[in-house]
Chains A and B, each alone.
Chain A
């Protein structure tokens, strides 16, 4: 395929019984892109990757990798992919070189090419000192490097890395991210993680997936904008005020009170919320939230001048990816924690009792089973509806937070 689209997923759906692990996931990855695949645990990141590498089949939808359909041409797809599965499990009893040679054999890499590729892989992944060691004796970090090495061995145009940095210590993480940046210069890379700073460090684009659905997809700035918030950090002197002549005095009676400042700030048009932040004795600090389209710094400044408050610091910052991630995926846990727990426990216990009953009345077993399936189906849909609302009700979420 001449087009620049290396990975194309169309409406991927994966069901495990009544549970929908993926729900109409669609995205495209172009040549040379480094894409961060984000989402909480269990959101469907690994499932998507396993479908792309033809380890699993989708219940519905199609996916093409470098122009080959994952269902019709799994071998062609796998040939063009370097894949590092989660936790990179390799045969522990094999030596590093032995393992890489085994992979090369299965990838039909001939001797001279293998030698040439090995030089590069050993260089990029820093495997020089461990080639002769057994994989089981290696630390997690080195195992991960070997995993990266086997994924790079055939010089693939596409790399799919499933949580390449999980279980690593901070130094190792930084190293792996550096490799990925290095590797990603001339390749298409899809990397899944729940560590957002890594995405910010290595990727130009993020796809956020939550409960099997893509909830955000775009450049990092675009995704950040999904949150639609800007934060202002404002610090005002607590003891002194500005006099008409330009000098400033310590005047306890006229000094600004925290409540007063907060109220005045929240009256500025465009401010969504004001929150007092911890600070030392000499200053009041506040965090304001405004919409992304406006810049309120001038308004804040003139308010302070007008009131005679000494503005010590002001900072405007666009919301971090982490905050966007939290807002977009926060309700994932709603069923497992918080208010619904009592209900869920009750239901689970009820179910158990039902099973006991079933044991007694074997004849009814089949019917009971059907009933249960129906129930599950309903629950699933209810939850999905909630989920839909969730994405639209971001504003409300924020109100709740306050």
Chain B
């Protein structure tokens, strides 16, 4: 109950400032541009598939959206002092963390599902071809748990610092490497087993299954584990104030 109230407040507060509008507009515009025009994009590929969209979207989220959304979650409240007000209400620390997580994740989900207009208009309304709905659904599922992991990473970083800027940069850099390591960024210089490990944690490789219409339990567990670990880390970081 308290968790939901906090989540609701957090979600609403994004719409009270320009953040939500700016982030959603710019990322949707950019995504559309890339999807339809980069290297010929959708038209050049000439297939009724959205796999390109779902390949670009996680990166767009990781580098432009999620750090902006998560940077303020705890850091800003610590800096401005509102955290003390919130925590001395009868709420448990884990409710604060969960509420903030749900609020931020909710905003990312709003953005993700706004892209559902693509398949609806392209294949339902304009009839650009008949689309295989399986991969679309698995991709959305993948995006959901992927965003949960990425948001929780951002939340964790934000709860470690009092500076939004620092939280933003660390989250961006972290997500950047988590995407490209072992995937798009070759790691030939590393010994073979390290390269395998990097490929194992790479978000790009983990997501590729979902785009192709596969739900691999390993990938699901991977993202969920990251989410839970980071939420526990944030909880610990919040509790730390008591003893530091």
Q: Residues of A at under 8 Å CB distance from B?
A: 16, 50, 53-57, 75, 78-79, 81, 83, 85-91, 93-94, 102-103, 105-108, 147, 150
The 8 closest A-B pairs by CB, nearest first: A89-B81, A57-B242, A93-B16, A78-B90, A105-B5, A53-B88, A85-B84, A106-B89
Chain B positions 189-244 with a Cβ under 8 Å from a chain A Cβ: 241-244
The answer on a CB contact under 8 Å between A93 and B242 is: no
Residue from A90, A106, A150 within 8 A of B5 (CB atoms): A106
Bound Cα distance from A50 to B13, whole angstroms: 27
Residue from B6, B16, B88 within 8 A of A78 (CB atoms): B88
Question: Smallest distance from the beta carbon of B59 to chain A beta carbons, Å?
Answer: 30
Bound Cα distance from A342 to B184, whole angstroms: 60
The answer on a CB contact under 8 Å between A93 and B88 is: no
Question: Smallest distance from the beta carbon of A86 to chain B beta carbons, Å?
Answer: 8
Q: Residue of A at shortest CB range from B84? A: A85
Bound Cα distance from A361 to B200, whole angstroms: 40
Per-residue CB proximity of B59-95 to A under 8 Å, as 1/0?
0000000000000000000001110110111111000
Residue from B13, B80, B242 within 8 A of A56 (CB atoms): B242
Residue from B1, B17, B81, B85 within 8 A of A108 (CB atoms): B1
Bound Cα distance from A129 to B159, whole angstroms: 36
Question: Smallest distance from the beta carbon of B77 to chain A beta carbons, Å?
Answer: 9
Bound Cα distance from A55 to B82, whole angstroms: 12
Bound Cα distance from A108 to B1, whole angstroms: 9
B45 close to A (CB within 8 Å): no
Bound Cα distance from A89 to B2, whole angstroms: 20
Bound Cα distance from A147 to B85, whole angstroms: 9
B9 close to A (CB within 8 Å): yes
Main secondary structure of the interface of A (DSSP, over half): loop
Q: Given that A93-B13, A93-B17, A105-B5 are contacting pairs, would A83 and B88 also be in contact in the complex, using a CB cutoff of 8 Å?
A: yes
Bound Cα distance from A93 to B13, whole angstroms: 7
A16 neighbours in B (Cβ, 8 Å): 244
B1 neighbours in A (Cβ, 8 Å): 105, 108
The answer on a CB contact under 8 Å between A55 and B5 is: no
Q: Residues of B at under 8 Å CB distance from A?
A: 1-2, 5-6, 9, 13, 16-17, 80-82, 84-85, 87-92, 241-244
Q: Given that A57-B243, A106-B2 are contacting pairs, would A94 and B13 also be in contact in the complex, using a CB cutoff of 8 Å?
A: yes
Question: Smallest distance from the beta carbon of A95 to chain B beta carbons, Å?
Answer: 9
B241 neighbours in A (Cβ, 8 Å): 55-56
Q: Residue of A at shortest CB range from B4? A: A105
Most chain-A CB neighbours within 10 Å: which of B1, B5, B6?
B5
Listed by A's residue number, 25 A-B pairs whose Cβ atoms lie within 8 Å are: A55-B84, A55-B241, A55-B242, A56-B241, A56-B242, A57-B243, A75-B90, A78-B88, A78-B89, A88-B85, A89-B80, A89-B82, A89-B85, A91-B9, A91-B13, A93-B16, A93-B17, A94-B9, A94-B13, A103-B89, A106-B2, A106-B6, A106-B89, A107-B89, A108-B1
Q: Given that A55-B241, A57-B242, A94-B16 are contacting pairs, would A89 and B89 also be in contact in the complex, using a CB cutoff of 8 Å?
A: no
Q: Residue of B at shortest CB range from A53? A: B88
Q: Residue of B at shortest CB range from A50? A: B84
Bound Cα distance from A81 to B85, whole angstroms: 12
Bound Cα distance from A202 to B1, whole angstroms: 38
Question: Smallest distance from the beta carbon of A361 to chain B beta carbons, Å?
Answer: 29
A78 neighbours in B (Cβ, 8 Å): 88-90
B80 neighbours in A (Cβ, 8 Å): 89
Most chain-B CB neighbours within 10 Å: which of A78, A86, A106?
A106
- Interface contacts beyond A75-B92, A81-B88: sample of 12 additional A-B pairs, CB < 8 Å, sorted by A: A50-B84, A53-B88, A54-B88, A55-B241, A56-B241, A85-B85, A88-B85, A89-B82, A89-B85, A90-B82, A94-B13, A106-B90
Question: Smallest distance from the beta carbon of A166 to chain B beta carbons, Å?
Answer: 13
Q: Residue of A at shortest CB range from B89? A: A106
Question: Smallest distance from the beta carbon of B115 to chain A beta carbons, Å?
Answer: 27
Bound Cα distance from A87 to B16, whole angstroms: 23
The answer on a CB contact under 8 Å between B82 and A91 is: yes
Bound Cα distance from A103 to B88, whole angstroms: 11
